Structure 1
Amino acid sequence: MTNSWMNKTRWTTAAAVAALVVAGAAVPAGAVTAPSPAAPAVAAPAVAATADGRVDPAAMREALAGLPDTYVRGAMVKVTGRDGRWSGTAGEWTAPVEAEFAIGSVTKVFTSAVVLQLVGEGRVSLDDTVQELLPGLLPDSYAPITVGQLLSHTSGLQKPRCVRPGTPVEIVRSAVSCGTPAAPGTVAQYNGINYFILGLVVEETTGRTYAEELDDRVLRPLGLRHTRLPADEWAWAEGGLVSNASDLRRFTTALMRGGLLRPAERRLLFAMPEVPGAEFSYGGLNRIALKDGTVIWGKTGTNHGHASGVFATAGLERVLVYSLLATGKDADKEVERIEKIAGAAFGGVTR
C-alpha cells in the first residue's frame, strides 16, 4: 500500500484551542467547554410537541424542570419508537425541537458506520492494523493497533496532551508525540484520536474523502437533509457533524435495524470487547445500564456549547435524542440532568 495518505492536506484548522478540545474527548460524558455567557432568562416550562404511548409526560416534564439553572441553560428532548413518543424544550432553548445543532462526538457513530460498511465489503478487517493500513503514521516502536481496537477505544493510545492544530495526520502525529501508550487491547480509554485515525483509514481504503464517503454511504441514502460536515469544522470524523433530532433518530433506527449494515456487522454494534472496564462496542456504541436495569446503546457528544446524545434500546422500543445548552460549570451536574432525562425517556419501556 502506498503512503499517499501522508500528503493529504484538505482539512486544516487555525485554532490551537480547538485541537486541544478534541484532545479532551476523554472527558466524562456530558462535560463540555463553557459556551459564551448568555443573558439570564426566566425559566420556561417544558413544552410537549407530541406525546403518546407509554412515555410518561409528567416524568419528562419533571426531568426538564427548573431550567435554566447554573449548569444547564436549556434543553431539547425527543423520544420516539414503537413504545411511545414525546418531544419538548425547556429553559433557554427557544428554537424548534428540530433545530440543527453541533453533535460533537456523536459523529463517531457515523464514522463507525462507514468503517463497518467497509468491513462488510471485505475492504477492511477488524484485525487489520493501523501500521498495515497507514504505514508511518504511528511511531515504529508502537505495537500493532487494530481497527477493532480503534472502534472500541481499546487501542491503548495515550491521552493526546501534546496535540497541535493541522491536518488529521498532523493531529494524530502530534497527539502521540509525548507520553507512552498502553499495550493495545489491555485497557479501555476513550480517545478521540482513535476516530481521526479511522477517518484516515476510510480515505486510504476508498481513495476518496471522508466527507464524500459519509455522504454517499449514509447521508444521502437515508435522506438526512439536516446532517452535514461543515468544511471548516476542525473535529472532522471525530466530532465535526451538525444534525438535528429527526435525522439522528432516523440514522440510529437504520443503524440498529439493519438499513445500513449487513447482519454480521450489525451484530458488532452490540459486541463488547473482553477488556476490563470496556464501555464501547466494536460498533462504537456506548453501553449504559440505567438504574432500573434497562440497557441502552448510543453516544454522547459536545461541541459549540451543546452537550448532546442519542441512545436507544437494542430493539428500538425507544430512541432518545437530547441536547443541553450546558454552561460547563460542573460536569457532574450536567450528567445528573442527563440521567434524569434518560430515566424518564426509558422509564416503563416494554422489554
Structure 2
Amino acid sequence: MTSTTVRHRTDRRRRAGAGVIGALVVALTAGTVGGAQAAGRLPAPNAASLRASIAGLPNGHLTSAVVLVDGRDGRWSGTSGSGDLATGRPVAADGRFRIGSISKVFTATVVLQLAAEKRLDLDGTVQQYLPGTLPASYPPITVRELLNHTSGLPTGGDFGDDGSAQWFVDHKDEGWTPQQVVAEAATHPMQFAPGTAQQYNGTNYYLAGLLIEQVTGRSYAQEVEQRILRPLALRHTSVPAADDTRLPHPTAHGYLTVSTPDGGTRQADVTEQSPWPWAEGGMLSSAPDLDRFFTALLGGRLLPPAQQAELFAVPDVPNVQNPNCDTGPVTGRACFSTGLMRFTTPDGSVLWGKTGSRPGYSNGVFATRDGARDLVYSLTPTSREGASFAAQYGIAAAAFDLPALPGH
C-alpha cells in the first residue's frame, strides 16, 4: 500500500445496487458525525484509519482500492492492491475508472444548467420535449420527476443478461442505444403515478440524456464537455463514444471471477467494456477529477442559487424500492434529490453523495454539504454484485470518523 497525507443494469443488478445503497444509509445513520459537522469542523483525516480501511489487497473479493479524502480540514490519498494482476504494476492514484451511476450527477447538472438558461422547464414534461418517445397511455411526466426518480416509469429489461459474471465476460463489448433501452422499458406498465413515490431507476437518466440532446441540438458528450469538463479542467473525465471500449490510464484493471473447465476459477479482465450506459452510467473519471467536480458543484460554482437548491430538494414521498432509504423521522421516505442522494443521521446531520458501479468497478463520492470534507473512492471487486457493504462502509467510516460496524 502507498499513501500520501496532505479529497444500465438488469433488474437483478439494480436491486443489488439498491441494497448496498440502503445499507450504506443505514450504517451512516448509526454514526454520530453530527457534532463535528454542526460545528463546521471535522478532525484532520485519520491516516492510520484510512490506511487500515483499504489494507490487505488484493484479496478474494477486491483487487485494488483508490481513496481520496479532501476538504478544508485536510487531505489524504492512498491506494492498495494491484493495478494489474498480470504484471503486478501498482495502482495509479490519479488513474481513470468507470464511474457508473455517478454519471447521473453530471447529467443532472447539465439539465439544471439548461433550466437556469430557460431552455427547458423542470415542470415541463417528457412528452413535451421528446414527443412520441413514451407510449400515449403513459401520464405526463415532468423533467424534475425524471431527475429525482419519482417518474413511476418502468425499469428496463435485461437484454438476455442472466446476471452472471460469465455472461458479462462473453458480452462485455456489446451494448444498446439509449433509444433501445427506453423503447424496451416502455413495453412495460407504469409502476406508480408520477410524483407519488420514489424508485431509483436508470430509465429516467437515459431520457434525461436524450432530453439534453433534443433541447441543445448537440450530443450529450459535447454538452458535458463544454459545460463541466472544460471549465473545471477535468482532463481525465470523459463520455466515451458508444463503440469505444478502452479505459485509458486506469487506476487498476477490473476483473470478474469466472469458472474454468477444470472446476477452478480465474480472473477475467473486464477493464475494456462497452460504455453503453451513457448518461445513466457510462462515464470515465478519476479520483482527483471527481473531487474537483464535487467541490465545485456543492460550492455553487456550476449552478445559480435556484438550481443549486434543486440539488438538495428531496421529495417527501415514500421510497418504494428500499424502505431504509433514510432513517430517523424519515424512515422509508425518499432520499434522492435532483441528482444526489441524502444520508441523514439520527441527530439531523446530513451527507450528500452518489454511488456508481460497472462490472469490475465500485465507486462512491460523499461529502458534507458545507464542504468540510469529501470522499472519493474506487474499488475493483471481482463479483458482479460489486464491492461489499462492509468494504465501502469501512472507507466511509474512516473518512468521516464514524463508528466501526459491529463485528468488524
Partner of 2:257: none
Q: CA deviation at 1:84?
A: 1.5
Specify the alignment match of 2:238 in structure 1: 228
State the match for 1:280 in structure 2: 336
Q: Which runs of 5+ in 2 are unaligned?
A: 1-7, 22-41, 84-89, 161-174, 244-274, 319-332, 403-408
Show the counterpart of 1:205: 215
Q: Is 1:136 paired with 2:192?
A: no
> What is the 5 A alignment of 1:156-305?
156-161=152-157, 166-231=176-241, 232=243, 233-276=275-318, 277-282=333-338, 284-289=339-344, 294-305=349-360
Residue from 389, 395, 399 that aligns with 1:341: 395
2:50 corresponds to: 60
Normalising by structure 1, what TM-score? Answer: 0.82
Q: Which amino acid aligns with 1:64?
A: I
Number of aligned residues: 309
Tell me the equivalent position of 1:37. none
The answer to whether structure 1 residue 122 and structure 2 residue 122 are counterparts is no
Distance in 2 (CA, whole Å) between partners of 1:264 and 1:206 is 21
Distance 2:82 2:366 in 1: 23
- 1:281 offset after TM fit, Å? 0.5
Question: Aligned pair in 2 of structure 1 residues 147, 180: CA closer, same or farther (>3 Å)?
Answer: closer
Contact 2:13 2:385 in 1 (8 A): no
Q: Partners in 1 of 2:367 and 2:294 — Cα distance?
A: 8
* Alpha-carbon contact 2:360-2:384 (below 8 Å) kept: no
CA offsets 1:69-96 (integer angstroms, 9 cap, x no match): 3322221100001011111111234222
Cα deviation for residue 20 of structure 1 reads 5.0
Asked if 2 retains the 8 angstrom alpha-carbon contact of 1:153 and 1:191, the reply is yes
| Secondary structure in 2 matching 1:84 | coil
- Contact map agreement 1:199 1:210 (CA 8 A) in 2: yes
- Answer whether contact 1:107 1:241 (CA < 8 A) is retained: yes
- Equivalent position SS for 2:343: strand
User: Conserved in 2, the CA contact under 8 Å of 1:80 and 1:86?
Assistant: yes
Task: Provide the TM-score with structure 2 as the length reference.
Answer: 0.71
The equivalent residue for 2:59 is: 69
Letter in structure 1 aligned against 2:117: E
Percent pairwise identity: 49
Per-residue deviation, residues 240-284 of structure 1 (Å, max 9, x unmatched): 1111011101111111111110011111111111111212102x1
C-alpha separation in 1, matches of 2:149 and 2:345: 22
